[in-house]
Amino acid sequence: MKVFISRRIPEDVVRLLQQENMEIAYNNSDRKLSREELVEACLEADLLFNVGSADLNASFMESCKHLKGIALTSVGYDHADLHAATRYGIPVSNTPDVLSKTTADTAFLLMLATSRKAFYWSRQIERGAWKDNGFLYELGIELNRKTLGVFGLGRIGLELAKMAKAAYGMTVIYHNRSRNAEAEELLDARYVSFDELLEESDVLSVHTNLTPETQYRFDAECFRKMKKNAIFINTSRGKVHHEKDLIRALQEGQLWGAGLDVTDPEPMLPENPLLQMPNVCVLPHIGSATLETRTAMATMAAKNLIAVYHGGKMPQVVNK
C-alpha cells in the first residue's frame, strides 16, 4: 500500500511508516496543496495522511473513493465529510486526547492575556507608543476567584478548568449535552443551563465540535445575556461564534473582552477591527502547536494508517 503524506511531519514519524515497509509519497514542505494537487496525489495512493485542515468534502471523497483510509491530524473533523467517507467505505481517524492539555494551555493563555490586555500593550511597544500612561489607563481585570463557564466540558475543557481552579481558585460551571461526573467530583463543577452559563460566567470558554447545532451558537442574543465584564474565549472553531455579533458586542461594551484562537474565515483579514481592540487577543489557530503535541498527533495518525495497512481497524476511527 502507498501512503501520501500531504505536508511536512516529524522525521521520526516518517521513519515509523518506513519501518513498516510502506511505500511513501510525501509533500515534504510546509506548503498547503491545492485541492487539485491533493486529489492528484491521492489518485496514486491507497492511504492519506492528511496534515492540516484541507477541506475533504463530498466531492473530494468521490474523487478519491478508492482510498482505504484517511488519518486526520486534528481532534476536530468538521473539515471531512464523514457521511461521504462512510458511503465509500473509507475509515477516517482523528487525534483525540494527545492535544487536550496543549489546547487548554492556549485557552488559558488567551484568558490571561485578554484579562491583562497583553497583546494591545505589546503592539504599543512595537509602534513606539510606550509612554508614561495614566494611573487608570487601559487597566486589566483579575481572574482570581471569578467564575469560569465552560461550553462543552470534555477532555480539553476539563484541562482548562483544572488549571483555572488551581491557579485562581475559579468556580467552574459548565453546559454540555451530558453531565461530566469527573469534573463535578474533581472540581466541584456545577452543571447549568445554557442561559445560566451566559449569565453567570466571568470567563466563558468554548470547547465544542463544530456541528449544525453549534454553528453560530454564540450570537448577539447570547452576548447580550452575558455580564458586561465577561471575557469570551474560543479555541474550538471560528464558526461557533458569530463574528460580526461579537465585534458589535465588544464595540457596544456588552462584553469586556475576547480571546480567540479560531476565526471565521481563517486566516483572519488584517483589517479586521478585532485586531485593533485593546481588550481582544487573537492567535492564528495554534491551539495544539507545540513540537511535543504535534509529534504525538502525527504518531497517532501514523498508527491509524499502520492499522489499516495490517488489515485492522483504525484505533481512533470517527466513522463506522
Binding site for ligand DGY (CB under 6 A): 53, 74-76, 99, 287-288
Q: How many residues does the chain have?
A: 320
**Residue number with CB closer to ligand DGY (76 or 149):** 76
SS3 (DSSP) at 104: helix
Q: Is 196 a catalytic residue?
A: no
For residue 288, the minimal CB distance to ligand DGY (Å) is 5
The Cα 137–Cα 29 span in angstroms is 46
Q: Is 79 a catalytic residue?
A: no
**Residue number with CB closer to ligand DGY (140 or 287):** 287
Query: Catalytic one among 207, 237, 242, 294?
Result: 237
The helix (run of H) or strand (run of E) holding residue 205 is strand 203-206
For residue 35, the minimal CB distance to ligand DGY (Å) is 18
Task: Write down the residue that cell numbers 492575556 correspond to.
Answer: 113
100-115 and 118-126 are packed helices; what angle lies between their axes, rounded to 10 degrees? 70
For residue 76, the minimal CB distance to ligand DGY (Å) is 3
**Residue number with CB closer to ligand DGY (109 or 170):** 109
**Residue number with CB closer to ligand DGY (143 or 262):** 262
Looking only at Cα atoms, what is the longest distance across the chain? 68
User: Is the Cβ–Cβ distance between 180 and 159 less than 8 Å?
Assistant: no
For residue 296, the minimal CB distance to ligand DGY (Å) is 12
Q: Is 266 a catalytic residue?
A: yes
User: Is the Cβ–Cβ distance between 226 and 198 less than 8 Å?
Assistant: yes
Q: Which residues are catalytic?
A: 237, 266, 285
